[in-house]
Structure 1
Amino acid sequence: MSVSNPPESPCLVIDLNRVRANYRALQAALPSARIRFAVKASPVPEIIRLLNDEGAEFDVASVGEIELCLAQGVDPAVMCYGNPIKKAAHIAAAHAAGVRRFASDTEDDLVRIAEHAPGAEIELRFLASAPASQTPFGVKFGCAPGEAVQLLVRAHDLGLTIAGPYFHVGSQQLDPIAWQIGIEQAGAIAEALAAKDIPVKAVNIGGGLPISYADTAPGVDELGAVIAAAAARHLPEHTALIVEPGRALVGNTGVIHGEVVNVRQAPDGRRWIYLDIGRYNGMAETENEYIAYRFQTDRDGDPMDEVVVAGPTCDGDDVLYQRTRVLLPTTLRAGDPIRILETGAYTASYSSVSFNGFPPLTVHVIGAERE
């Protein structure tokens, strides 16, 4: 199978060679950082095996992701249970599987970790004062920076091992200054802890590293320079950096192959293009039109005009773009193939089980897991 000859529509085709290239490019841009792949971005076994061979760590958000990584031969010592929202039973299961690193942002969670994963290493998530990203988390995660010091002291008193502060600047963050702000705040937390004789071993700067969709995003070299400079200025010497990319490693490695189901001139006079893939079987990140994917067709040399792009289900919210300016050929017809580019992240993993009877997005992998 090749990208140009997928077996069915819709499907996602992932290129492992690009995953490897992205990992090595990030490694070159941040040579002193530990790279921890956010499994939720693309929980594909072949990707996990490749990154494990490359020496990556893994950010897991559930017992299911832990089990997936274990099945691919990942050492639990390089996993971190990075979801601050977790049941006591799940903490115990992770600990029983060998996971010894946990993220947290509340005292209640720290108490549960101390009980069910005694001695575990803690990365304490705080809410950095960073500019809004393309797909922001809001205030769902992270405590106030001042509270982070108190919680890390509390973790220390509970017998847990302190790694250090952790922040996330929001998914698809386009402003490099966001990491500078977060690192400066993390440095202040580290300084306050040092005054209490609690050393910080590492600062987790989270994910959010962007890729270019319809708009150009800063590259990893630019981001790496900002991050390295901020770390040198604000963090104690010998503090390890941890970065948790998801989209930056896999986003540009995937292409969704779809099909035009119908073309319609709606009563409002706008042209609507209906695809066999929509909000519920892979395109969840088009919610609020946060992510503007690029489209490619076999008729791209023909005249173009604006369209509304919608999915195939009987749900009124299954509309991908009606405010974002999307240009597609005026000659598009039902049955025409269409490709959606840079769809390697948060597509198959966001796909529903079977909404309206449409099956989850099928994933195919090309390229070599090992060189």
Structure 2
Amino acid sequence: MLAQPLEYYSQSAFERISMKAKEIETPCVIIDTATIEEHFDALTSNFPWADIYYALKANPAHEIIDLVNAKGGCFDLASIYELDKVLSHHIDPARISYGNTIKKRADIKYFYDAGIRMFATDCVSDLENIARMAPGSKVYVRILTDGTLTADWPLSRKFGCQPDMAMDLLVKAKTLGLEPYGVSFHVGSQQRDVGAWDNAVATVKVIFERLQEENDITLQMINMGGGFPANYISRANDLEVYAAEMLRFLKEDFGDTLPRIILEPGRSLVANAGVLVTEVVQVSRKSNTALYRWVYTDVGLFSGMIETLGEAIKYPLYCEADTAGTGDESEEVVIAGPTCDSADILYEDYKYCLPHSLKEGDRLFWLSTGAYTTSYSAIEFNGFPPLKAYFV
């Protein structure tokens, strides 16, 4: 399957990307900033009842930080290194949250000393560290949710705790001198089932009610995480549908007076703005009778395409050779990266169709690759440099 770029990008956006692609060596990601602006505006117009905290891990480029900052957005961070980068843009610490539940005691203090006063947690030891290193701060507890069947990149198991433990932690937070502020959850990245938010909101409602009734604790915030989709091969509902349904879920449980709502978009903000430009390094067969050719490109699992692990994310693919007007037939292929690691195979079970005439030096364009490509790219595995990024 080959995508047509204009199904995913406006004519002007793809022209900007195409012009830049002619000037540069592969592999690289080209990011269209106008597309990110459009996506940010869509978020704020569809979710006027929520505060937008950009999940920096999706793409930590300075250009994107500037854009989000100029739009009045906030930032969800996961490390002191991300904090240093964001603070270098003179962003108000009040617009930053420390959303990682796994953190060193020294890093909590680093955030606190920088002026950050909102921290995520999901266990007793971390909560006690926050109380010790960030006294008086607001804390919100992340609960476990189950979106594994409908999210392309699930985020359960490692993060969050059961609701009963979440209530215990919020009660303990008060005794430790912290402010029990709210509850967070994440239903999974690239979540295609809008209903996944419904169950999570219902669970949060129970936590709010029980803490109020049994402990006289009034929670003020729900962090609904990210999970909104990008345009990959498996399409999802439009953002408008997510917004309308999520608001309905909230009003069913909380009425017209909602607590503070935080959203943490990452993929949905930046993914569609990027095109990963790659070059074919080699085309071969494993035997004279092999059914499938192997296509090796100059980008692989360790140089920006880690989300192809388990073939979880299937990016739209565009090949210039397919538009040469030769009437060349396409055939299913296996696609792999350039490193000497046998795990560096992008797609073997899922078969993309590429032209039979495809050869060394031809370019492939992976669409919707603005998120989790440069930020996942390894440094010097087999000597390959990190994935370069250009902005237009």
Say which of 339, 344, 347 aligns to 1:321: 347
Shift of 1:10: 0.4
Q: Identity of aligned pairs, percent?
A: 42
Q: What is the distance in 2 between the residues matched to 1:129 and 1:250? A: 25
TM-score normalized by structure 1?
Answer: 0.96
Q: Which of 64, 67, 73 lines up with 2:84 in the alignment?
A: 67
Pick the aligned partner of 1:15 from 32, 45, 53.
Answer: 32
Alignment of 1:91-102 (within 5 A): 91-102=108-119
SS at 2:272 equivalent: helix
Amino acid corresponding to residue 261 of structure 1 in structure 2: V
Letter in 2 for 1:29: N
The match for 2:58 among 29, 35, 41 is 41
For normalisation by structure 2, the TM-score amounts to 0.91
- 5 Å matches for 1:57-136? 57-132=74-149, 133-136=151-154
Task: Report if aligned partners of 1:49, 1:73 keep a CA contact under 8 Å in 2.
Answer: no
Could you tell me which residue of structure 2 aligns to residue 310 of structure 1?
Answer: 336
Task: Tell me how far apart the structure 1 counterparts of residues 340 and 273 of structure 2 sit (CA, whole Å).
Answer: 30
Amino acid at match of 1:187: K
Given candidates 228, 235, 253, the residue that maps to 1:234 is: 253
The amino acid that maps onto 1:151 is: L
Deviation at 1:218, TM superposition (A): 1.4
Secondary structure, aligned partner of 2:189: coil
User: Which residue in 1 is equivalent to 2:273?
Assistant: 253
Q: Tell me what 2:158 maps to.
A: 140
- Asked if the contact 1:184–1:235 (Cα under 8 Å) also holds between the matched residues in 2, the reply is no
1:345 paired to 2:374 = no
2:186 paired residue among 146, 161, 168: 168
Any idea what SS the aligned residue of 1:37 has?
strand
Indicate the larger mover: 145-154 or 300-309.
Answer: 300-309
1:76 partner amino acid: P
Question: How far off its partner does 1:131 sit?
Answer: 5.0
- The structural deviation recorded for 1:2 is 4.5
- For 1:58, the aligned partner's letter is F
Structure 2 residue 297 is matched with structure 1 residue 275: yes
Q: How many pairs does the alignment contain?
A: 366
Q: Distance in 1 between matches of 2:212 and 2:281?
A: 61
Q: How far apart in 2 are the matches of 1:235 and 1:197?
A: 18
* Offset from partner CA, 1:227-259 (integer Å, 9 cap, x none): 100111113623011110100000100001110
Aligned partners of 2:363 and 2:146: how far apart in 1?
Answer: 44
Shift of residue 160 of structure 1? Answer: 0.8
User: Does the aligned pair in 2 maintain the 1:183–1:235 contact within 8 Å?
Assistant: no
Structure 2 CA distance for aligned equivalents of residues 130 and 40 of structure 1: 20
The answer as to whether partners of 1:128 and 1:145 remain within 8 angstroms in 2 is no
Write the letter of the residue equivalent to 1:12: V
Is 1:184 aligned with 2:206?
Answer: no
Q: Note the alpha carbon deviations across 1:52-99, whole angstroms, 9 max, x for none.
A: 111111000000000110012221111111000000000001111111
Hey, what does 1:369 align to over in structure 2? none
SS at match of 2:135: coil
Question: What is the rounded CA distance, in whole Å, between the counterparts of 1:228 and 1:325 in structure 2?
Answer: 39
1:355 aligns with 2:381: yes
Contact 2:148 2:154 in 1 (8 A): no
Query: Is the Cα contact below 8 Å between 1:209 and 1:247 reproduced in 2?
Result: yes
Query: Within 1, Cα distance between the matches of 2:156 and 2:259?
Result: 28
Return the alpha-carbon distance in structure 2 between the equivalents of residues 243 and 300 of structure 1. Answer: 40
Distance 1:131 1:181 in 2: 13
For 1:338, what is the secondary structure of its paired residue? strand
SS at match of 1:69: helix
Deviations 1:303-338 (A, max 9, x none): 211010000011100000001121111111100111
For residues 247-291 of structure 1, the C-alpha deviation after alignment (integer angstroms, 9 at most, x for no partner) is 000010000111000111223431111100000111000000000
- Quick check: 2:146–2:156 contact (8 Å CA) kept in 1? no
The question of whether the paired residues in 1 share the 8 Å contact of 2:29 and 2:276 is answered with yes
> Deviation string for 1:97-138 (max 9, x for gaps)?
111111000011010000000011111100024453111123
In 1, Cα distance between the equivalents of 2:114 and 2:391? Answer: 28
Write the letter of the residue equivalent to 1:257. V
> Helix, strand or coil for the counterpart of 1:299?
helix
Alpha-carbon distance between aligned partners in 2 of 1:129 and 1:173, rounded to the nearest angstrom: 11
Structure 2: unaligned runs, 5 residues or longer: 1-14
CA RMSD, aligned part only?
1.3
Per-residue deviation, 1:211: 1.4
The answer as to 2:320 corresponding to 1:298 is yes
Residue of structure 1 equivalent to 2:224: 205
* Residue of structure 2 equivalent to 1:152: 170
Instruction: Give 2:17's aligned amino acid.
Output: V
Name the amino acid aligned to 2:173.
A
Cα contact 1:129–1:181 (8 A) shared by 2: no
Q: 1:29 aligns with which of 46, 51, 54?
A: 46
Partner SS, residue 352 of structure 1 = coil
* Equivalence for 2:240: 221
